[in-house]
């Protein structure tokens, strides 16, 4: 952050022995520069596959749930995303900085639902529209991050997620290949599942052009034979109306996140 100093104003005084006095001009306000948010230490990837023909009802009920959580000040935050090609594929990213924080948020949610039958009822209606559900807690691999720019979920409009199922015992080879690969994407992060050798490569997208949606596996990974199964890549669109995010997070794009901000 730089501070621009204005030129000093020099006043000449009309006296027999000329003197000068200097006084700094008022400084312009320093702009409030917001730096990119670092990747969350923990992410829970919650995947919902909806029943056929339920997408519109699901979105309407979820929007009611989000408004209820905002009013109740529940400190459980998530980003909701929907597949670019399949509305029945819904992904939630639940952010936390530590297991203790995640547990406190979950406990707060349980207490809220116990005391708010209206929210509990909405959650049951929502669950009835889901055909399949998975939830995976994953930890950020700090040594695997793009060096060109820091990934920032708060400014993204979409997200490309590639899931690698690595064979047990081959994790070290996979991580080394990820670390040395030549990546085309300017920003990305890797999360490893806590309970299985599953890795999530997440790439925030500020636009959803075809160029951004296409994923090409780097050569260093393609040459790893027998280390991982065929990766699954999906592109998602951020749904602010179905998200619940803290105010600090929303400052990255306050107009975009306005429907999702916790008050």
- Using alpha carbons, select from 252, 184, 239, 235 the residue that is nearest to residue 62: 239
Question: Quick count: other Cβ atoms within 10 Å of Cβ 22?
Answer: 8
Mind listing the pLDDT tens digit for each residue in 4-16? 333 323 233 333 3
> Cβ contacts of residue 20 below 8 Å, gap of 6+?
10, 11, 12, 13
Full 3-state SS string of 138-149: EEEEEEEECCCC
The domains of the chain, with CATH numbers, are: 42-260 (3.30.70.100)
What pLDDT shows up at residue 20? 42
pTM above 0.85, yes or no: no
Mind listing the pLDDT tens digit for each residue in 116-172? 999 999 999 999 999 999 999 999 998 886 656 667 888 899 999 999 999 999 999
Q: Which two tokens stand for residue 221?
A: 């990974």
What pLDDT shows up at residue 197? 95
Instruction: Say whether 94 sits in a helix, a strand or coil.
Output: strand
pLDDT over 80 (residue 1) = no
- Helices 99-115, 117-127: axis angle to 10 degrees equals 110
Give the span between the Cα atoms of 191 and 198, in whole angstroms: 8
7-11, Cβ contacts within 8 angstroms, sequence gap of 24 or more: none
pLDDT over 90 (residue 225) = no
Length reported for the chain: 263
225 with 173: CB under 8 angstroms?
A: no
């Amino acid at each position: 952050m730089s501070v621009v100093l204005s030129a000093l104003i020099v006043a000449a005084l009309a006296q027999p022995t000329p003197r000068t006095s200097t006084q700094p001009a008022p400084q312009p306000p320093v702009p409030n520069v917001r730096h990119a948010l670092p990747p969350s230490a923990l992410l829970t990837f919650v995947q919902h596959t909806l029943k056929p023909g339920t997408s519109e009802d699901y979105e309407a009920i979820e929007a009611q749930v989000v408004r209820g959580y905002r009013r109740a000040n529940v400190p459980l935050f998530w980003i909701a995303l929907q597949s670019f090609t399949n509305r029945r594929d819904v992904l939630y990213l639940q952010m936390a900085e530590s297991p203790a924080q995640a547990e406190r948020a979950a406990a707060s949610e349980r207490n809220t639902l116990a005391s708010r039958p209206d929210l509990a009822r909405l959650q049951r209606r929502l669950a009835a529209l889901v055909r399949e559900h998975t939830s995976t807690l994953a930890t950020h691999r700090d040594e695997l991050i793009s060096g060109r720019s820091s990934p920032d979920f708060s400014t993204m409009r979409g997200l490309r997620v590639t899931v690698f199922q690595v064979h047990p015992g081959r994790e070290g080879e996979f991580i080394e290949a990820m670390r040395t690969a030549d990546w085309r994407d300017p920003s990305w992060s890797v999360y490893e599942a806590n309970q299985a050798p599953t890795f999530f490569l997440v790439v925030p997208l500020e636009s959803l052009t075809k160029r951004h949606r296409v994923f090409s596996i780097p050569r260093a990974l393609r040459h790893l034979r027998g280390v991982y199964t065929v990766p699954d890549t999906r592109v998602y669109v951020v749904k602010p109306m179905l998200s619940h995010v803290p105010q600090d997070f929303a400052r990255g794009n306050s107009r975009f996140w306005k429907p999702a901000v916790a008050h």
